[in-house]
Structures are given as C-alpha cells and as structure tokens.
A = this chain, B = another copy of it.
Amino acid sequence: MNVNLKKLAEMLGLSQTTVSRALNGFPEVNAETRQRVLRAVRETGYRPNRAAQRLATGRAGSIGLVMPIAQGIDSDIHFGEFLAGLGEESVRHDFHFVINPSAPEDEELTFKRLAASGNVDALFLAYVRENDPRIAMLKSLSIPFVVHGRTINQPTDYPFLDIDNTGAFYEATRLLIQLGHRRIALINGQSHLTFAIRRKKGMVRALDENGLVFDETLSHNSPMTDEYGYRAMERFLGNPEPPTAVLCSSTVMALGAVRAITRAGLTIGRDISLITHDDVLPMLKPENFMVPLTTTRSSLRAAGSRIASRLISRIGVTSDTVEQELWRTELIVRASTGPAPARR
C-alpha cells in the first residue's frame, strides 16, 4: 500500500497537521494520539515526504561532517567504520549526512558554512587536537554538536564521547611490566592528536610507577597504516638495546609490526610481546592474526552509533546539560603477550 500524509490522516480521522505534529514529536499532541499515529505508520509503511517535513519542522534531517582531504591525505579506514555506526543509527531516524570535503587549512571556515547553509541540524567533530580552536568555533554556532574525543589543555565544557585512552595504555603497559618487560616500544598515531597523546601518557604513568623511563628512541608517531607499523618496528629491532615488547595504536599498524618481527626471525609472544588497541574493524580482527593479539578494545562503530543517537536527540531541544561520556576499554589477553625473555 502506498500511503501519503493525506490518506493516513483520513484513515485515522485526524487532520494532516495533527498527524504531522505527532510524527515530529510536537508536545501539543497527546500520548494516546501519538501512539495511534505511530501504529498506523507501522501498519501502512507510510514514509513522510522529506521536503514537506522540512518545511513543517524547519529541520533538515541531517548530520554534518567535514572531511579533510587533499592530494597526499590518505583515506582512513577508521573513519569508514565510524561512519557505519553513525549510519546504522541515522537510518532508524530517517536522517542523512552532509559531508563537506575541505582542504585541511579551510576546515573551520567549512564548518561555519555548513552550519550557515541550513543543510544540517547538527555537527560532528573528530580527530581532536591538544588545543583545538575548532571547539570554540563549534560552541559559537547555534546548532548542536558532539565531539568524538577531548581536548587536553582546554576546559572540557562541551558535549563529547571519548574512550579512556590513558587508562587503556596504562593497563596494557602494567600487564607487560608484570610479565617482566623493561624495554617497551610504542607505535602510535600522529603526535598532535589527543588520543595519541593520552595513550603515551598512560604508558608513561605505568612506567613511572615502576621506576622505568619512556625511551624516545623506542617511540613512533604517524598516520596509522601497515607500512608505518612495519618501518617503525624494523627500526626498533635495529636498536642496540631492542625492546622485548611493543604497544600499537591500531590493528593496521600491528599488521606491519608483526611482519617486521616475523621477518627478523622472532616469535611473537615468546621473543617479543605485542599489545594493540582494537577498534573492532571487521576487516582485520586481532583474534585472527597468526599469533592472536592481546588488545585494548573499544568498538568504533558503537561510538558512531551512540554519537548519532545523541546528536539526533538534541536537535530542537534546549537544555543546559552537557552530555559527556568516557568509555572504558577492555583489556583482552591473547597469545601475543608472554613473559619477557631472559636478557640477551
């Protein structure tokens, strides 16, 4: 059955305006009527006309994102996974995305134009930096936003969802120290991003509590690709005092690190231990590596889904509460971590 608003209203014996208001959550419509309308929508498969809905509600039904892009900037699989989560939740609310590609240096301007365009109801920001001017800019705009991540040297008085990156790598490092490791390397994301800064901080804290010092010659920062993981690990293994353990910030980097270790004739979990952060990327599962990898785990897709839900629920709502969520990661021990080998 192909039902439009007019037919639906006739079937229910209500005016089109009442049906429309019930669907769009206006408070004037009582709960009983709303339930009747929603039941009829389910039974008939009615879908509101987007343009009409937009006129009636003043809402665009969309979430805006800025995608930094330029020649030399690689696509990011972590972003795709997050987008799947955002999409999974948005489709339930009949929301779409507006993605503005932008040269990195034009990013703030692009956000402003996106907000001013009327094409989006809410904005989303990711890849947060230490002192991030984009957050003050988002606060100055008049539409809801959620930040995925947190700043460091700024008050965190804005809505965010972050994972406990410090705690994740603190616990991972502590496990390695308990296993007798003293020389621990770090293969991390880009050094200006707060998730990478916090992971290092967690590692440094655990080392410090045990009288150990973070060794800058065993530290690597870069975009998170297989190739950088390989090169970093190769360099560490050439160190006069090579590490007996390594932390990686992504399974994609771990892939390269594992290859460098294997190529050097070493066995993971025996000669060298490895723990990676796991965003639960479906195309690369840590439990499927030749030696299954110990991980700090948090689903990027779940984060995307949650952020979409929060953004959509805030549209048109005036509230003084600033929702903030900090998700703990899970430390999952598999075969890639073992006792430190006897000193060479």
Choose among B87, B114, B225 the residue that contacts A67 (Cβ–Cβ < 8 A).
Answer: B87
Choose among B71, B77, B86 the residue that contacts A88 (Cβ–Cβ < 8 A).
Answer: B71
Choose among B76, B283, B301 the residue that contacts A226 (Cβ–Cβ < 8 A).
Answer: B283
> Which residues from chain B contact A90 at a C-beta distance below 8 Å?
101
Q: Is the CB of B101 within 8 A of A225?
A: no
CA–CA, A49 and B88, complex, Å: 32
CA–CA, A283 and B81, complex, Å: 14
- CB interface residues, A 50-100, toward B, < 8 Å: 50-51, 62, 67, 69-71, 73-77, 79-81, 83-84, 86-88, 90-91, 95-100
Q: Is the CB of A226 within 8 A of B288?
A: yes
Among A50, A252, A283: residue with most chain B CB under 10 A: A283
Binds B, one of A16-24, A116-124, A270-278: A116-124
Q: Is the CB of A285 within 8 A of B226?
A: yes
The tally of residues in A whose CB lies under 8 Å from a CB in B reads 60
CA–CA, A301 and B72, complex, Å: 11
> Which residues from chain B contact A114 at a C-beta distance below 8 Å?
96
Q: Is the CB of B225 within 8 A of A51?
A: no
A300-340 CB mask vs B (1 if < 8 Å, else 0) is: 01000000000000000000000000000000000000000
CA–CA, A259 and B167, complex, Å: 32
A222-260 CB mask vs B (1 if < 8 Å, else 0) is: 001111001000000000000000000000100110010
CA–CA, A283 and B90, complex, Å: 28
Q: Does A139 contact B (CB under 8 A)?
A: no
Q: Is the CB of A96 within 8 A of B98?
A: yes
Q: Is the CB of B51 within 8 A of A116?
A: yes
Not counting A49-B113, A75-B83, A90-B101, a sample of 19 additional A-B residue pairs whose C-beta atoms are within 8 angstroms of each other reads A49-B116, A51-B116, A51-B117, A51-B118, A67-B83, A69-B88, A70-B88, A74-B282, A75-B283, A80-B83, A87-B99, A87-B101, A91-B102, A96-B98, A97-B99, A226-B285, A227-B288, A259-B288, A263-B290
* In the A-B complex, the 5 residue pairs with the closest CB atoms: A80-B80, A87-B101, A75-B84, A74-B282, A69-B87
